[in-house]
Amino acid sequence: MWIQFTKEMLELFRDKKNLLLTILMPIVLMPLMMIGSILLIENVAKTEIDKVKYYILVNEIPTQMQLALDDNSSLAVKDFDPDFKQLIKDGDISFALAFNDNEYEVFYNGSDFINNNQAMISDIIDEQNIEFRISELLKLGLSETEQTSLLTHIKFKQTDLASIEQISTKAIGGLLPFLAIILMAVSAIATSSDICAGEKERQTMETLMLSPNSILNTLMGKWFAVTVFSLISGFLMLLSFSVGITVFKSMIDIAEVQKIFSIMNMPNILMTMLILIPASGIISSLLIATSTIASSFKEAQSYGSIALMLIMLPQGVVMTGIIEISNQSIFYPLINLSLWLQSFFNQSAQFSLLIPIILVNLVLISSLLTIAYSLYKSERIIFKQ
């Protein structure tokens, strides 16, 4: 097995395409993508916050409302334009306000999520309504207690107890294994296609099968090489992501973003690395099996793309946070690893669950390798060209 493994590693390290996917992509591309998107969001948000929003008054509005709007420094009124609806659609103004028969009407563009101001107008109206009612009730000579009992109705109050750290740990706890697993799968597709289907295409499979090396040794050597290569990819992505975040942390001057990044600490990174080991074992055994069926590199990559979808979709579900680690979800291989990691990030991980989780994943790895082994024993499959 070691002889086979050493040969595979030597060959894979001499292939520029593999190195590009396994080494360069996780080091450069992934952190750049992440940090690029954060900077972009930050930039867009800042621009929108700083931007003065214009509005138009369709007709004369009550003085109280006028004063409330004037008090808002981010708002500026524009002269009336009969074509104000088009101006809203074109984004030239944020909204227009009309007042008729004690009714305010706000014209706005619902697709422009950032510039929606109808909630702000509604709040002002609510406040003015209360003030109006109090003044009217005072005219009736009602006492303060009587006013309160008349005006107080059932209220709805929301209190979000989640801290920014909790929200971010949930998000990153889902995102990090998702990105690492996808990247490992991409690397495993390239390497497994190369050392399984590639052997058939380059006509080295028969040379290999002629040797007195057992099929099991050959298969395990190949599986181990793909696993190690995909792990290198996942580890490099994690490390470069962490280094990238440390460097860029100082460049992003938003307290919330700083808090989000603070969860990328050493224990979390190390635990993610440990969890990636069985994950890469599953990914590589699945891709070894699919690329053994293929007779060419191209065919193996097509099968690999289907396998990638099988890996990606459940991981996507994990990322959304719909499911959590439970006595039922521990039986879903690969997903259970991501879910457990998510709970570790949330500091609610049960270490006793690790044993059944690892066992479930080992069963899947063994099953996939058994399939690959039976494929290797088939004349039709192994010598198909």
Partner 1 sequence: MLEINHLSKSFKLNRKQKKQQGVNEVFAVKNINLKLGTNQIVAMIGSNGAGKSTILRLLTGLLIPTVGTIKINGVNILEDLNATRAQIGFVSDNTQLYHRLTVRENLTFFAKLYKMQDSDIKQRIKELSQSMQFDDFLDKKINDCSTGMQQKTNIARALIHSPTLLILDEPTSGLDIKAAQTALKIIKAQKNENSLVLFSTHHLHEVETLADHIVAIEQGQCVFSGTPNEFTAFFKADSLYQAALNCVNNSTVN
| CA 43/CA 220 separation, integer angstroms | 50
Among the listed ranges 24-32, 210-218, 252-260, 278-286, the one in contact with partner 1 (CB under 8 A) is: 210-218
Among 1, 7, 120, 296, binds partner 1 (CB under 8 A): 7
Q: Is 213 helix (H, G, I), strand (E, B) or coil?
A: coil
Among 15, 42, 92, 165, binds partner 1 (CB under 8 A): 15
Residue 63 interacts with partner 1 (CB under 8 A): yes or no: no
| CA 335/CA 316 separation, integer angstroms | 10
Residue 11 interacts with partner 1 (CB under 8 A): yes or no: yes
Residue 214 interacts with partner 1 (CB under 8 A): yes or no: yes
**Binding residues among 190-209 for partner 1 as defined by CB under 8 A:** 202-204, 206-209
Residue 213 interacts with partner 1 (CB under 8 A): yes or no: yes
Rounded (10°) CA dihedral 6, 12, 14, 18 = -160
Residue 101 interacts with partner 1 (CB under 8 A): yes or no: no
Residue 41 interacts with partner 1 (CB under 8 A): yes or no: no
Q: How many residues bind partner 1 (CB under 8 A)?
A: 23
**Nearer CB in complex with partner 1: 14/153:** 14
**Nearer CB in complex with partner 1: 155/380:** 380
**Nearer CB in complex with partner 1: 184/199:** 199
Show the DSSP H helices in the chain as ranges: 2-13, 16-19, 30-50, 63-71, 84-90, 118-139, 144-151, 164-192, 198-201, 205-209, 215-249, 255-261, 266-293, 297-320, 335-345, 354-377, 379-382
Which residues, other chains included, contact 53 with Cβ-Cβ below 8 Å and sequence gap of 6+?
74, 75, 76, 93, 94, 95, 115, 117
Residue 254 interacts with partner 1 (CB under 8 A): yes or no: no
**Binding residues among 276-295 for partner 1 as defined by CB under 8 A:** none
Residue 139 interacts with partner 1 (CB under 8 A): yes or no: no
**Nearer CB in complex with partner 1: 196/276:** 196
| CA 314/CA 331 separation, integer angstroms | 13
Residue 378 interacts with partner 1 (CB under 8 A): yes or no: no
Asked whether the beta carbons of 25 and 183 are under 8 A apart, the reply is yes
Candidates 197, 163, 169, 166; CA nearest to 291 is 197
Which residues would be at the binding site for partner 1 (CB under 8 A)? Answer: 3-4, 7, 10-11, 14-15, 202-204, 206-214, 379-380, 383, 385
